[in-house]
Each structure stands twice: as C-alpha cells, then as structure tokens.
Amino acid sequence: MTIEERLKELNIELPSLSAPPGNFVAYVQTGNLLYLAGAGPKANGKVGVEFSVEEAQGFAREIAIQHIAVIKSALGDLERVARIVKALGMINAGPEFEKHPAVMNGYSDCMVEVFGDKGLHARSAIGMASLPFGIPVEVEAIIEITAD
C-alpha cells in the first residue's frame, strides 16, 4: 500500500499550505535530510489550563498532518520518506503540567499510522511558558529522504 493510499484509508486529507508568518521557510533540504519548521494549530491557550491532554493530542495530530503536507510539497512524492528521524514538541502548558509526552503521542501516533515503521522516530517533549501567537503546541521535525 502506498502512503497516498494509506492517507485515504485513514481519512486524512492534507491541508493546503500557507506562507510562514515571518522571515523563514517551511522546510530546508540539505543532503538527504529535510528539516521542517515548527508548526502549530489554529488555537490559543495553555495545555492543562484551557485545553485537556486529549485536546492537545488532537492538536499534535493536526500538526503531524500539516507536516505531511509540507513533506509532500517539498518532495512531490511521500514515498521518498526514508524515515521520520526526530520530532521536537513544545507544549505551552501551565506550571504544574507534567504530561508533555502524552501530548506528543498525537504527533507520533499519526506518523506511525501513515508511514509505518518509517514513522518511528526519536523525540523530545518539553514544556514552555509561552509559544508564538499563544498556540498550545508546536512541533518541528527532521526527515530522512531517499534520492530523486
């Protein structure tokens, strides 16, 4: 089964991409690595305050889908993904919040659902006092790709 077929089976529709909100690009390719800029949902608030862990997992999944759209835009073909190498999740949370890894499961689970074993990655999940525009979750990632 191709990645595109898997996306259809999972009822995942890739979003259209908009320009980044600053002087940067959505991705940079160097050698066989694709670096994805941080992405976030269209929501504002803190996890553990305005949003539950489950809601934040949904935001992290939404970011994974955004990242897949960026990968497709960058490569043209999702079959060129050799591996999701690393994901860094930043969670805008209240000071007592400790379930940052649970939030990132939304991102990681989606990548594994879509890419199978190639979606298994190293990851960090850290708490932040704030994030740009007040978003609750931001994720950046590194992707290994195959040659054209």
Q: State what percent of residues in the chain have pLDDT above 90.
A: 93
Q: Give 12-64 pLDDT, tens digit per residue.
A: 999 998 888 888 999 999 999 999 999 999 999 999 999 999 999 999 999 99
Structural domain includes residue 108: yes
Compute the CA torsion angle 98, 20, 45, 119 (nearest 10 deg): -40
Residue 48's domain comprises 3-12+25-145
Specify the pairing of strand 33-39 against strand 137-145. antiparallel
Mean pLDDT, residues 65-84 taken together: 97
Structural domain includes residue 107: yes
Q: Which two tokens stand for residue 142?
A: 């590194």
CATH of the domain at 120: 3.30.1330.40
pLDDT tops 90 at residue 147: no
How many domains does the chain divide into? 1
Structural domain includes residue 71: yes
Structural domain includes residue 105: yes
Structural domain includes residue 17: no
Residues 6+ apart with CB under 8 A from 36: 26, 27, 67, 70, 71, 140, 141, 142, 143
CA distance 15 to 86: 22
Structural domain includes residue 131: yes
Structural domain includes residue 66: yes
